[in-house]
Amino acid sequence: MAVIGQDISQAKRILDAGELVAISTETVYGLAGNALNPVAVALIFETKNRPSFDPLIIHVPSLLIAENYVSEIPKPLRRLAEHFWPGPLTLLLPRKNKIPDIVTSGLDRVAVRVPDHRLTLELLSQLDFPLAAPSANPFGYISPTSPQHVDAQLGEKISYILDGGKCKVGLESTIVGMEGDEIVVYRLGGLEISEIESLVGEVKVKSHSSSNPQAPGLLESHYAPTKPFILGDLNDLISAYQSRGVNYAVLSLSQTFSSLPAEKQIALSVNADLKEAATHLFSAMRALDQSNAAVILAELMPEEGLGKAINDRLKRAATKG
């Protein structure tokens, strides 16, 4: 099982090495890794057995540090941050390019918050990167609010749990962003709507509040390229589209095709490493979508480990009918 303790230096060493640590916050315990390291972020998904690339929240020690990772903080959201950070408020903000695609599921905004917990704030202040940290539990299970909960669920998969005692809020953070001039609550959480409205006026609450820090119902359109995206056996697909004279590009796990120019094909991992494939998926899809190909041909990954998560997104992106 994992070591449970309050050694910030040990937690820092593990995180610096690209591994994961469970961290205490005021909301729930988070499974944390270097948000700027795509491989560490992929390890979060694998460790949680998370079935899809749900965007992750990044944790920073202050509003000033948050500005290193976002391109803009609209005035109403800045007002909320100044009042409620540290605290159970997550802001959805336009991201800078230094935030990897895997953190945001390829979306243009990143979810950011400053947790209200002394130990974790001290740890964050000693790191030169933010922490991506969804709840420290296997997907679909109850969120952990004590180190013992984390140890029981993930103790065999991680080495260290930063023990901050029981979480004082016990609900995930409230997620807030803007659509045009409208302030939108995407997830109800530990910060009450009335408190938010007392500062910025009336807000819109999405009727289907989600743990996904983005507008519900928009997932599929964000994952789908603008070009037709066809899933199947690549050899069969290439033969069919080649015979029809269609200009195509190929997305594979590890295969390469000598008949196709390098700019028209991307292998997600030459070693068929699904962790590496996960880190490259969204950027690869975007690159092929920006090529002059008329159609993108792709294959499903092995149904194991992160392959299941990759396949979920491939199927969502696939052209229907």
Q: Which residues are annotated as a binding site for ATP?
A: 50, 59, 135, 143, 187, 223
Q: Which residues contact 60 (CB under 8 A, 6 or more apart)?
A: 66, 69, 112, 113, 114, 124, 130
> CA 19 to CA 76: how far, in whole Å?
36
Query: Any idea which residue has 């120019």 for tokens?
Result: 261
* Contacts by 266-275, CB closer than 8 A, 24 or more apart: 268/310, 274/301, 274/302, 274/304, 274/305, 274/306, 274/307, 274/310, 275/39, 275/42, 275/43, 275/46, 275/305, 275/306
> CA 127 to CA 13: how far, in whole Å?
10
Work out the angle at residue 115's Cα, subtended by the Cα atoms of residues 83 and 3, and round it to the nearest 5 degrees. 165
Q: Summarize the annotated binding site for L-threonine as residue ranges.
A: 27, 113, 133, 173
Ordered DSSP codes for 138-207: -TTSPPP-SHHHHHHHHTTT-SEEE---S-SS-SPPEEEEEETTEEEEEE--SS-HHHHHHHH---EE-S
Q: How far is CA 202 from CA 128, 184, 195, 313, in A?
A: 37, 9, 11, 35
- Reduce the DSSP state of residue 58 to 3 states and report it: strand
Q: Summarize the annotated binding site as residue ranges.
A: 27, 50, 59, 113, 133, 135, 143, 173, 187, 223
In the 8-state DSSP scheme, what is residue 24? -
